[in-house]
Chain A
Amino acid sequence: MTAGLLATTLVPGAALTAASAPASAADSTTFTVGLLNEADSFNPFLGIEAESYEMWGLTYDYMIHYSMKDMSPEPGLATSWKTSDDGLTWTFDIRTGVKWSDGQDLTAEDIAFTYNRVLEGGPWGSTWGSYLTGVTKVAAPDATHVVLTLKKPNAVLPLLPIPIVPEHVWKDVTTSQVKSYSAEPKDGQPVVGEGPFKLVEGTAGGSTYRFEANKDYWGGAPHVDQVVFRVYKSEDPMVQALIKGEIDFAEGISPLQVKSLQGQSGITAHNGDSPGFDEIAFNAGSVDTKTGKPIGDPNPAVLDPKFRHALGFAIDRDQLITKVYQGAGQPGDSIIPPAYSSYRWTPPADQAFTFDLDKAGQLLDQAGYTMGSDGQRTMPDGSPIGTLRLDARSSSDTSLNTMNYFKEWLDQLGIKSTVRTYESSKLTDIILQGDFDVFQWGWYVEPDPDSMLSYMTCGQRGGWSDSWYCNPQYDALYQHQHEETDQAKREQEVKQMQQLLFADSPYLVTAYNTIGEAVRSDRFACFQPQPDPGGIWLIQYGVHNYISARPADQAGNCDGVSSAIGATAASESTGTSNTFWVGAGVVVVLLAGAGGVLAMRRRSSVGERE
């Protein structure tokens, strides 16, 4: 056995290349995507990673889709929907003629079944439960209608990103089984779903997942026959695989890689706007949520909203974008990123944060944090501020570099600080204990801002709130917008909330991030950004681009989507990159060394023979 393995390993690779090279594109079209993280579960009730959501999106469909332009709700399995005047009853009309991949008809019953399982809670509800908050009953009065009954109006509806699973398969899965139910292909049978693709190969935590196109998909058959995901554990090999052509798409690469790939012919790379932000966060008042007594040891200065707000002018966001984000990002101000324009509040020009240390100093003076005789600012009562602790995450260079810059700017203001680094889970513990002053982290924001807004409420202290911010006025607005069914009014309230956060500054938003992506545009075309323009090509809300992606020579006008990556972009090659010359040099040295060893060996054996 071992001898056989040894022998096969030693066989020259050239002979094997022919035997096992990927199948040519002549018979079927395979679109191969490189990911940097694996899917943690194919069971849509269990997984957590963004990659898993992508896999469910291919396998299953949703009642509501997200638009490519701004992620607003669009018809999916539900063709239309209406709500009662009191906002307590939602009725969805379900598309007819949709079939499961095993041939059975999809009906409203399947949707009601899925939602009722989520409502059951426990392991069924852990991923999706919050989307059905306030829903008391889900019913399917007939095959084409689903009715949701609510306790209180919920403005988050109709957005319901819950994958619909087939009742005839899942009704046999018990509550205790679902905790470890894998929903993976078994005995060569694909997973039963109604999405644009069928999972035919893949396991949770595995490194390859293969999907076959569902030619009967109601939204039209995908243009490619197969989608394959390969999980890479580091970025450089994934980029090399893209250059070599082993994969057609690389997801989640760094701005530096994007820059280097932009020169390669046949490859289109960009930093797509991702709906998330990075922030410098303060301890706005850590308390024991049961007794209400302060816990932890925050510096009294950071508890003061005026102090925090003043520091908003001590951050050179443009420099952060250039130096820390390598130009891939936008300066930030509010917790709702520009992608969600209808909910986003932008500070008026006279209030907006600029890099202005004089202004920051004036604001600090006004708030009583005046300069002491030793050149350091003092608390309003004259006692020293001490040293602010700036906590960064050890896993993120962005985090550490941001804090190092912030420390410099604080120095110039006359505030001493020190940068500490922690592993993320350790930092989470520290935050929950309240033993911190300032830290750097970030969030992704869902198309509906409700969840992000909720993290800043008093009720989330000790839960997801990491700033311990609590403002009854903010909480009242949060409750109100959550139940506000008039869209225009709701948007207004969401903007007021951002205004409050801007003034109280539990977070100083530093940047809106991007995600680096690269595609072999000489092979595949028709990737539309989401949001359009400026957004990302894959790992979107929904799986639109897997359906519209097609071989570059069949691109045409991409069904009239002008913003999609179209025909082959004939960019000129910039020649061989530096890595290659370094590599080549090393090869030459190694070969010379090997030659030397061989020569020595010859000579020594000659000596021996003599």
Chain B
Amino acid sequence: MSLAATPESVTAAESGAVASAGRSRRRGYGRYVWAKVAGACGSLLFMLVVNFFLFRVLPGDPARTLGRGRFTTPEQLHAFDATYGLDKSLPQQFLTFLQNTATGDLGVSLKYRVPVSQLLMDRLGTTLLLVGVSTLLATAIGVWLGIRGAWRRGGGFDKASTGASLTLYSMPEWWLGLLLIAVLAVGVGPVPGIFPTGGLHSIDAQPGTVSYLLDTAWHLTLPVITLTLAYLADYSLIMRSSLLDELGQDYLTTARAKGLRDIQVRNRHAVPNALLPTTTVIALNMGFVVAGAITVETVFSIPGLGLLGTEALEVPDYWVLQGVFMVASAGVILANLAANLLYGLLDPRVRT
């Protein structure tokens, strides 16, 4: 909604100055938007089709994986396939899949025997909370670190922050998570273990209360810290290098010559220009938020989308896989679209 409104307000402001140029620019952006939206819809459709066939070529037979080690006759295996429509031919299954998806029915999980849409809804909230909050934090802190570092390149702060974020970036997420658990959840020596070792909330927490929210936040603290630390370098390094590119530009010299204070030169002139590449990275990473964070979800036993997908692979639980990939790819496609639209706004050069 806000995206649709912004171009109007921007162009309206500009059209005050040059009316004719404003009109042509508006039309230019409109066409640009349409092209991008159509492209995104095309990708979504293509992805739906690919998803179906992609998972059917996976090795394994759900009835067999789910039945191993139990007293089951071959007839019962066939009965399982018949119950879940797996005995039909692939084209037939594909037709059913298209029909169902069109009506919003994503099928029933082979493993959990509950509707896939219900599983996805349950997990999506958790993942958005965990990965979303971490991405936002990492973005804010990372961009800040990048700006500070680049502005005083080679200084102590720059060295320390670049070193630290690179170290954290190269550290496996699960190991970082385990260390945090050992130190901050279990406690070491004088450090008390104040955080829970895993899970999303306490057993006795009552949903809908304030203490429930606090309890969830308390449980999410360590995983969010882990992810934030791991993601930091993504943003700080890009912000740092793109700001460095701007440092030698003439317009900065002009700004300084005008007598602007150092902080004003940085925040009003250099940073807005340097933000362009960072915006792309942020928007694209936002798309991956819904894909979850498999390793951190594993270490902290947080039931998110990432785990749902990996576990469904083992069966293979076709409908769950399709659902998870649909959500994940839709996230990426939409974020891509948003990045394109935003970029079109920020940098008029790309519209043509």
A interface with B by C-beta (< 8 Å): 2, 5-6, 8-9, 11, 13-14, 16-17, 19-23, 30, 32, 40-41, 43, 46-48, 121-123, 125-127, 129-131, 133, 179-180, 182, 203-208, 210, 228, 230-234, 236-238, 240-241, 243-244, 246, 423-426, 428-429, 443-444, 446, 450-451, 454, 460, 462-464, 576, 579-580, 582-584, 586-587, 593, 596-597, 599-601, 603-604, 608
Closest approach, in angstroms, between the C-beta of A12 and any C-beta of chain B? Answer: 9
Residues facing A in B193-221 (CB within 8 A) are: 193-205, 211, 213-215, 217-218, 220-221
Return chain A residues, CB-CB under 8 Å to B301: 207, 230-234, 237-238
Closest approach, in angstroms, between the C-beta of A23 and any C-beta of chain B? Answer: 5
B213 touches A8 (CB 8 A): yes
Return chain A residues, CB-CB under 8 Å to B70: 48, 127, 451
Give the residue name and chain of the A residue nearest to B159 (CB).
A600
A237 touches B178 (CB 8 A): yes
Residues facing A in B122-142 (CB within 8 A) are: 122, 129, 132-133, 136-137
Selecting from B110-118, B279-287, B332-340, the interface stretch reads: B110-118
Return chain A residues, CB-CB under 8 Å to B194: 13-14, 17
B183 touches A204 (CB 8 A): no
Across the interface, A6 reaches (CB within 8 A) one of B73, B136, B298, namely: B136
Q: Quick check: is B224 within 8 A (CB to CB) of the other chain?
A: yes
Across the interface, A597 reaches (CB within 8 A) one of B64, B157, B188, namely: B157
B83 touches A179 (CB 8 A): yes
Return chain B residues, CB-CB under 8 Å to A580: 182, 188-189
Report the interface size class on chain B.
Answer: 35 or more
Q: Quick check: is B185 within 8 A (CB to CB) of the other chain?
A: yes
Return chain B residues, CB-CB under 8 Å to A230: 198-199, 203, 301
Return chain B residues, CB-CB under 8 Å to A463: 73-74, 77
A453–B113 alpha-carbon span in the complex (Å): 30
Return chain B residues, CB-CB under 8 Å to A596: 160
Give the residue name and chain of the B residue nearest to A204 (CB).
B112
B79 touches A125 (CB 8 A): yes
Closest approach, in angstroms, between the C-beta of B61 and any C-beta of chain A? Answer: 7
Q: Quick check: is B161 within 8 A (CB to CB) of the other chain?
A: yes
Return chain A residues, CB-CB under 8 Å to B77: 463
Q: Quick check: is B179 within 8 A (CB to CB) of the other chain?
A: yes
B60 touches A587 (CB 8 A): no
Return chain A residues, CB-CB under 8 Å to B14: none
B59 touches A429 (CB 8 A): yes
Return chain A residues, CB-CB under 8 Å to B43: none
B136 touches A593 (CB 8 A): no
Return chain B residues, CB-CB under 8 Å to A240: 181-182, 185-186, 197
Across the interface, B217 reaches (CB within 8 A) one of A8, A207, A429, namely: A8
Return chain A residues, CB-CB under 8 Å to B299: 233-234, 236-237
Q: Quick check: is B243 within 8 A (CB to CB) of the other chain?
A: no
Closest approach, in angstroms, between the C-beta of A211 and any C-beta of chain B? Answer: 11
Closest approach, in angstroms, between the C-beta of A53 and any C-beta of chain B? Answer: 10
Extra pairs beyond A2-B133, A32-B203 (4, CB < 8 Å): A133-B73, A207-B301, A230-B199, A232-B301
Return chain B residues, CB-CB under 8 Å to A579: 182
Return chain B residues, CB-CB under 8 Å to A129: 73, 76
Give the residue name and chain of the B residue nearest to A28 (CB).
B204
Return chain B residues, CB-CB under 8 Å to A243: 186
Give the residue name and chain of the B residue nearest to A36 (CB).
B301
Closest approach, in angstroms, between the C-beta of A600 and any C-beta of chain B? Answer: 3
Closest approach, in angstroms, between the C-beta of A597 and any C-beta of chain B? Answer: 4
Closest approach, in angstroms, between the C-beta of A32 and any C-beta of chain B? Answer: 7
Q: Quick check: is B28 within 8 A (CB to CB) of the other chain?
A: no
Residues facing A in B50-83 (CB within 8 A) are: 58-61, 64-67, 69-74, 76-77, 79-80, 83
A2–B137 alpha-carbon span in the complex (Å): 11
Across the interface, A584 reaches (CB within 8 A) one of B59, B132, B189, namely: B189
Return chain B residues, CB-CB under 8 Å to A428: 59-61, 64-65
Q: Quick check: is B272 within 8 A (CB to CB) of the other chain?
A: no
Scoring A180, A234, A462 by chain B CB atoms within 10 A of each residue's CB, the highest score goes to A234
Residues facing A in B292-339 (CB within 8 A) are: 297-303, 307-308, 314, 316
Return chain A residues, CB-CB under 8 Å to B200: 207
Closest approach, in angstroms, between the C-beta of B229 and any C-beta of chain A? Answer: 10
Give the residue name and chain of the A residue nearest to B225 (CB).
A9
A22 touches B203 (CB 8 A): yes
Return chain B residues, CB-CB under 8 Å to A32: 203
A241–B186 alpha-carbon span in the complex (Å): 7
Give the residue name and chain of the A residue nearest to B123 (CB).
A205
B211 touches A20 (CB 8 A): yes
Scoring A40, A43, A231 by chain B CB atoms within 10 A of each residue's CB, the highest score goes to A40
A46–B70 alpha-carbon span in the complex (Å): 13
A428–B303 alpha-carbon span in the complex (Å): 28
Residues facing A in B67-117 (CB within 8 A) are: 67, 69-74, 76-77, 79-80, 83-84, 108-109, 111-115
24 intermolecular pairs with C-beta atoms under 8 Å apart: A5-B129, A6-B136, A16-B214, A16-B215, A20-B211, A23-B204, A121-B79, A125-B79, A126-B76, A130-B76, A205-B109, A232-B198, A233-B301, A237-B181, A244-B185, A244-B187, A246-B197, A423-B60, A425-B64, A426-B59, A428-B60, A583-B188, A584-B189, A601-B157
Closest approach, in angstroms, between the C-beta of A516 and any C-beta of chain B? Answer: 18
A593–B220 alpha-carbon span in the complex (Å): 24
B198 touches A241 (CB 8 A): yes
B214 touches A19 (CB 8 A): yes
Evaluate whether A464 and B72 lie within 8 angstroms (CB atoms) in the complex, with A6-B137, A9-B217 already known: yes
A19–B66 alpha-carbon span in the complex (Å): 42
Give the residue name and chain of the B residue nearest to A443 (CB).
B69
Return chain A residues, CB-CB under 8 Å to B164: 593, 597
Across the interface, A425 reaches (CB within 8 A) one of B60, B133, B224, namely: B60
Q: Quick check: is B152 within 8 A (CB to CB) of the other chain?
A: yes
Closest approach, in angstroms, between the C-beta of B146 and any C-beta of chain A? Answer: 15
Q: Quick check: is B119 within 8 A (CB to CB) of the other chain?
A: yes
Across the interface, B307 reaches (CB within 8 A) one of A233, A583, A603, namely: A233
Q: Quick check: is B259 within 8 A (CB to CB) of the other chain?
A: no
B183 touches A180 (CB 8 A): no
Closest approach, in angstroms, between the C-beta of A146 and any C-beta of chain B? Answer: 21
Return chain B residues, CB-CB under 8 Å to A13: 184, 194-195, 218, 221
Scoring A11, A46, A237, A608 by chain B CB atoms within 10 A of each residue's CB, the highest score goes to A237
Give the residue name and chain of the A residue nearest to B184 (CB).
A13
B152 touches A20 (CB 8 A): no
Q: Quick check: is B16 within 8 A (CB to CB) of the other chain?
A: no
B221 touches A40 (CB 8 A): no
Give the residue name and chain of the A residue nearest to B163 (CB).
A593
A604 touches B59 (CB 8 A): no
Q: Quick check: is B277 within 8 A (CB to CB) of the other chain?
A: no
Q: Quick check: is B42 within 8 A (CB to CB) of the other chain?
A: no
A30 touches B203 (CB 8 A): yes
Give the residue name and chain of the B residue nearest to A23 (CB).
B204
A567–B316 alpha-carbon span in the complex (Å): 46
Binary flags per residue of B166-196, CB closer than 8 Å to A gives 1, else 0:
0000000010001101111111110101111
A603–B262 alpha-carbon span in the complex (Å): 17
A123–B112 alpha-carbon span in the complex (Å): 14
Closest approach, in angstroms, between the C-beta of A202 and any C-beta of chain B? Answer: 11
Return chain A residues, CB-CB under 8 Å to B189: 576, 580, 584
